[in-house]
Amino acid sequence: QVQLVQSGAEVKKPGASVKVSCKTSGYTFTTYGITWVRQAPGQGLEWLGWISGSSGYTNYAQMVQGRVTMTTDTSTTTAYLELKSLRSDDSAVYYCARLGGVVGGFDYWGQGTLVTVSS
C-alpha cells in the first residue's frame, strides 16, 4: 500500500533552517511528483510547491520562493523540504503528498511534521 512517512517534530530558532523528510513506499517513485503543503495553527492549507519524482523539476509558491528547496533521493524514494531563514509565522504542520497520475490531485498524504519557530 502507498505510504508517506515524515520525519519528527522540530523546534528551531528564528533565522535557522529546517529540513523535513518524506519517505515513500508502495509505488514507483519516479512516476509521481511530491507536493508540500503547510497548515499554521487554526488556519487553512497553504501550498508550498512540488517536485517531480523523475526529473527533479520544481515549482515553488511565490510566498516561499528564495527560502525553500525541495529535493528527492530516488535511491531511497525520499523527498525533502528545506526552509531557510525561519520566522515565527513559519510555525506550522508541514505535509507531503503524492501528486499526479490518473487522479492528478494530492491522493496520498504523510502524517505531517510540526515545525515550531521560537526564540
Partner 1 sequence: SYDLTQPPSVSVSPGQTARITCSGDRLPKQNAYWYQQRPGQAPVLVIYKDSKRPSGIPERFSGSSSGTTVTLTISGVQAEDEADYYCQSADSSATYVFGPGTKVTVL
Q: Is 94 in the site for partner 1 (CB under 8 A)?
A: no
Closer of 79 and 97 to partner 1 (Cβ): 97
Closer of 1 and 75 to partner 1 (Cβ): 1
- Give the long-range contacts of residues 47-50, CB within 8 A, separation 24 or more: 48/81, 48/94, 50/99
Closer of 27 and 109 to partner 1 (Cβ): 109
Q: Is 107 in the site for partner 1 (CB under 8 A)?
A: yes
Query: Applying CB under 8 A, what is the total number of residues that bind partner 1?
Result: 21
Does residue 3 sit in helix, strand or coil? strand
Q: Is 86 in the site for partner 1 (CB under 8 A)?
A: no
Burial class (CB in 10 A: 0-12, 13-18, 19+), 57: exposed
Using alpha carbons, select from 88, 91, 96, 75 the residue that is nearest to residue 20. 96
> What track of x and - describes contact with partner 1 for positions 62 through 81 (by CB under 8 A)?
x-------------------
